[in-house]
Amino acid sequence: MAESILIRHEASAKGTERTLAILEYLGRFRKGKSSSEIARALSLPVNSVGRITETMHKRGWLYRREDDRRYVLTNRVADLTRPQINDKSLVVSSWDSLKQLRDITGETAQLLVMVEGKAMVLEQCESDQAIKVSGRIGLRVPCYSCAPGKSILSSLPPDELETYLNDVTLKKFTSTTLATRSQLSDDLQKIRKRGYGLDLAEGMEGIHCVSAVILDDYHYPVAAITVIAPSFRLKRDRFEEIGKACVQSAQKIREELFK
C-alpha cells in the first residue's frame, strides 16, 4: 500500500514538472508551438505532452490555433496575478484612461508596473496607425531604460531607490541609454521637476516614450502610464503636450482607484 502511494506521488510530481516546463517553454513563443514541437524541445513523450496540453486547453490555460494546431498561452496566468489596489483591479480602473490617451495622442498607450526591478506591461491600447509600436502583455524591460520605469523609480522612497541602484547592472542598449548612475540620477531628478518621464530611444533604437507615474494615497508609485511610438512621429516638440496628457491620465486612474 505504501509503495503504491509513493509511486502515485512520484507520477504526480513528474506530471507537475512537465506541466510547468510546458508553460515556461510556451511563454517564450508568442506564436505558440505544436505538441510535437514541444515534445521535441523538452525531450518529453509526445503522448504525455498531448494529454497535458489538451487538459490545459480545456481548462483555459492554452489556446489552440485552428490554422496550424499550435498551442498559445492565454492570459489566465496574468489574470490571476493582476494587481488589485483598494479592492479594485488596476487594469480595469485604467482601461478608459488608456483608451482616451490613445485617442488623444494617436499612439499606443500602455500600463506598466515594477516587478523585480523591471517594468512589466500589464495592459495596452494599441494605436490605429499603420506603423506603430506595441508590446505583448507580460513583457518586462529594465526600468532604467524606459520612460514608465524611470517614472516609477523617480517616485520611490530614497531607501528603495538606493537599493535598486546598488543592485542593478546598468547596460548600454543604444547610444542614448543612461548607463551610469550619475546620468540616471540626474534624469530622475528632471522627471520629479517636470512631472513626466522621457525615453529617447534609450531601450531600443527608433522608439520614443513619454510617461507619468500613478501614485497611491501615500504617494507610493503603484504603476505608470505611457505613450510609446516611432521616434519619427513622436518628436521632441510633442513631449510636453503628451507629457501633460499622461499626467492627467495618471491622475484620473488614481482617482478611479481611490474614490
Q: Which cell numbers in the block locate residue 113? A: 508596473
DSSP letter at 111 equals E
Distance separating alpha carbons of residues 87 and 96, to the nearest angstrom = 18
What pLDDT shows up at residue 166?
94
CB-CB contact of 85 with 93 (8 Å): yes
The domain made up of 2-74 has a fold known as: Arc Repressor Mutant, subunit A (1.10.10)
Nearest Cα residue to 22 out of 3, 8, 39: 39
Residue-wise pLDDT for 103-129, tens only, equals 999 999 999 999 888 999 988 899 988
pTM for this predicted structure: 0.69
Residue-wise pLDDT for 192-222, tens only, equals 999 999 999 999 999 999 999 999 887 899 9
Q: Report the range out of 64-68, 114-118, 128-132, 179-183 with the highest average pLDDT.
A: 179-183
The domain made up of 81-258 has a fold known as: Beta-Lactamase (3.30.450)
Written as one letter, the residue type at 23 is L
What pLDDT shows up at residue 60?
75
Q: Which cell numbers in the block locate residue 210? A: 513619454
CB-CB contact of 210 with 235 (8 Å): no
Apex CA 223: angle with CA 197 and CA 30, to 5°? 95
Written as one letter, the residue type at 246 is C
Q: Which residues of 93-205 form beta strands (DSSP E)?
A: 108-115, 118-125, 140-142, 197-200
**DSSP element (H, E) containing 183:** helix 181-194
What ranges do the domains of the chain cover? 2-74, 81-258
Apex CA 25: angle with CA 146 and CA 72, to 5°? 85
Distance separating alpha carbons of residues 39 and 50, to the nearest angstrom = 9
Written as one letter, the residue type at 212 is A
Distance separating alpha carbons of residues 72 and 24, to the nearest angstrom = 12
Give, to the nearest 10 degrees, the angle between helix 2-26 and helix 35-42: 110
